[in-house]
Structure 1
Amino acid sequence: MTNNQPAPDGVLRLINGYWATGVIGAASAHSLFTHLENGADTAAKLAARAEISERGTQTLLDGLVGVGLVQLHEGRYRNGPEASAYLVEGKPASLTSFAQLKLKHMGGLVALPDVVRAGGPVTDPTTEVADNPHWEEVVPAIAAQSVPAATLAAEVLGLAGAGPISILDVGGGSGIYSAVWLEANPQARATQLDWAPINAIARRLLVERGVADRFTSVDGDFHTTDFGTAQYDVALYSHIAHQEGPENNIAVLARLRQALRPGGALVICDYVVDDDRGGPAFPLIFAAEMLLKSKQGGTWRRCDYHDWLLKAGFEDVSFHSAPPATLVVAR
């Protein structure tokens, strides 16, 4: 480019970001990452294994090399480290179902200009109701995202050696935190509070993980259901704060403080931005999702969480990186 003008490649790559969503979602739908992991290293072999066209397979491979998920060496393809860790079916942190789910969500972004103008959803968000059948697809698809953070939280809290503790998971969704934590501590017991259809999904996961005998679910809305007083050693508020406004978050955090025994710990996991809103990148971009889907939610700053927790009665607050999320531990 002349006059030191930057090339347009980066901007064009961002504008066409939906291409990456499509390529990754389609590759996941046809188990290409799994077949690559199992040794199918050419377009022909992959096409035969996946029972799809060789032309389509080559197109997906080109796209996956382009986005940096698949590596090509002397005519042979293989998963890169990220694809191997997060896009192979059957692995604990596999995001293949989530990749396919996001294909269906791309159309919703068409409304973003109007949503920005209005400052929130321009139609009533209909997904956030208990009896929406989409939970059967969404809740299992997003579960794997929480495996790394749940594992890290168990280490930060020393759960493995904590003995017969009692855990409360508010809005626990898939139950993945309970599953990871109960596996780490065979003496622990967990209670999840969520809507009945979602709790049913969680119970299935806990059965699959072999820890359902120490898991209890309470059907209800966390905005109105009593958490009890001094009943739990650990409480969890994961990926809920971004859906709520400041006043609601303070109110829920105060009730969680009351539900904890003396010395108990609250764990928050969410997409947290720096105090000056200069980063990290993923939480900053995620704010658009909340503008589209919630009336008062957002990606909140570290100082917001710190302030809310002090107002709720906690005294000690620490932050732990769990990219792309952040763990907040309060006592």
Structure 2
Amino acid sequence: MTILGPGDIVGLVNSTHATDLFVAVVSEFDIFTRLADREATTARQLADLLEIDERAADVTLTYLAALGLVERLPDGAVRVTQAAGQYLTAGAEIDLRHYTRMSSDRPGSRAAVEVLRTGQPAAWDVDEGDDWLNRMSQNDFAETFTAGMNARGTYLSPALADVLRGSVTANRILDVGGSSGIYACSLVSALPGTSAAVLDLPSVVDTSRASIAARGLSDRVDVIAGDMFTELPRGFDVHLYSNVWHDWDPANITKLAKASFAALPPGGVLVDHDMHLNDTKSGPLREAEFSVWMMMATVGKCYSTPELADILTPVGFEDVHLRPTTAGYSVVIARKPA
């Protein structure tokens, strides 16, 4: 990949863990040999066959489909492609499983094996041993992490604002899990007459306030210290979750969706800004690679629009649809009935 702009750098970083997963499923589980004679395999069936976690199996199949090593069938199951059969199965004339195994002892590949087997996030930092969620309660890590989210958001937020300016009417925006406030600041700058508040953990909000003040927007963007899994504050007509839902499983996303539905006024809007898979969960590759990282680091993954609609519609939201922003990112927008 040639680096032509910031989106390419973001995509490169997002792909960090994906090759480790490929090495793990080939070297430790011999996945293509075990699937080669099967006409179709679902994520649930793969989990049973390899004795791995079902979420990890789902993320793995999406990534392999994006690579062209398995093919998605109309019912959502997969089958091995010709390329995988020719080069990654037992008895192949050019058997590149042996070459792949040369990287199987790398720490990242070993961590991928463990996540596949247990479904539990790997340690964010090998030296510290804690996963991402526990590390976020520590002020020094939270500050470093927030700086990283702010750097990415500086690039992504103008495209988010451009899309929402043409599709959402907002007065007050609640940026749930809003970290540095970069997205809230971009939105109020792009949407005249709006104000916003960032809701995030107590370990994060001092950095949020400083970042918002540095942008000269403290008069329009407030900061609220709190837990998004408790009752959300009322008085906001747009709830923005930017790069939040990929950290969580469907049960927790449902909790957040229900909290938003309860707090939003009639006609209020929920916006999920993230990397989303295509409707068939066969890619795109950038999004599938990022989903691997989320599988490795959190209890979440990247979701498709139909998967999110299956969560949001029963809660009561309607008009669930996707609009692209930039660099593989997009928004899924849903409305509370007026």
> TM-score if structure 1 supplies the norm length?
0.63
Q: Answer with 1 or 2: which has the greater Rg.
A: 1
Aligned residues: 236
State the match for 1:140 in structure 2.
Answer: 147
State the match for 2:313 in structure 1.
Answer: 310
State the match for 2:85 in structure 1.
Answer: none
1:196-211 equivalent positions in 2, closer than 5 A:
196-211=202-217
Distance 1:329 1:161 in 2: 9
Distance change (3 Å), C-alpha of 1:160 and 1:117: closer
Distance change (3 Å), C-alpha of 1:141 and 1:148: closer
Distance change (3 Å), C-alpha of 1:151 and 1:228: same
SS in 2 for 1:263: coil
Distance 1:245 1:161 in 2: 27
Distance 1:180 1:160 in 2: 16
Distance 1:134 1:326 in 2: 27
Alpha-carbon displacement from aligned partner over 1:135-154 (angstroms, at most 9, x marks no partner) = 22221122232345433333
Q: Does residue 251 of the first structure (1) align with residue 255 of the second (2)?
A: yes
Q: Which residue identity does 2:310 align to in structure 1?
A: D
Q: Measure how far apart 1:312 and its partner are.
A: 1.9
Alpha-carbon displacement from aligned partner over 1:173-224 (angstroms, at most 9, x marks no partner) = 1111111012123422111111122111111111111111122111111112
Q: Measure how far apart 1:68 and its partner are.
A: 2.5
State the match for 2:108 in structure 1.
Answer: 109
1:29-40 equivalent positions in 2, closer than 5 A:
none
Match of 1:238 among 225, 236, 242: 242
Distance 1:136 1:108 in 2: 26
Q: Which residue identity does 1:109 align to in structure 2?
A: G
State the match for 1:216 in structure 2.
Answer: 222
- Which stretch of the first structure deviates more once superposed, 154-163 or 212-221? 154-163
State the match for 2:265 in structure 1.
Answer: 261
RMSD: 2.9
Q: Which residue identity does 2:2 align to in structure 1?
A: G
Distance 2:281 2:168 in 1: 37
| Greater than 6 Å deviation, 4+ residue runs | none
Q: Does residue 282 of the first structure (1) align with residue 216 of the second (2)?
A: no
Alpha-carbon displacement from aligned partner over 1:110-157 (angstroms, at most 9, x marks no partner) = 422222222333667433132241122221122232345433333333
State the match for 2:5 in structure 1.
Answer: 82
Distance change (3 Å), C-alpha of 1:220 and 1:281: same
Alpha carbons 1:196, 1:220 under 8 Å: kept: yes
Q: Which residue identity does 2:269 align to in structure 1?
A: A
Alpha-carbon displacement from aligned partner over 1:68-110 (angstroms, at most 9, x marks no partner) = 33xxxxxxxxxxx426x887xxxxxxx7xx97xx8xxx98624
- Which stretch of the first structure deviates more once superposed, 261-270 or 142-151? 142-151
Q: Does residue 319 of the first structure (1) align with residue 322 of the second (2)?
A: yes
List gaps (5 residues or longer) in structure 2. 21-105, 124-128
State the identity %: 28
Q: Which residue identity does 1:293 align to in structure 2?
A: A
Q: Which residue identity does 1:265 align to in structure 2?
A: V
Q: Does residue 151 of the first structure (1) align with residue 155 of the second (2)?
A: no
Q: Measure how far apart 1:275 and its partner are.
A: 2.8
Distance change (3 Å), C-alpha of 1:318 and 1:162: closer
Alpha carbons 1:170, 1:192 under 8 Å: kept: yes
Alpha carbons 2:122, 2:297 under 8 Å: kept: no
Distance 2:247 2:167 in 1: 31
Alpha carbons 1:149, 1:327 under 8 Å: kept: no
List gaps (5 residues or longer) in structure 1. 1-66, 70-80, 88-94
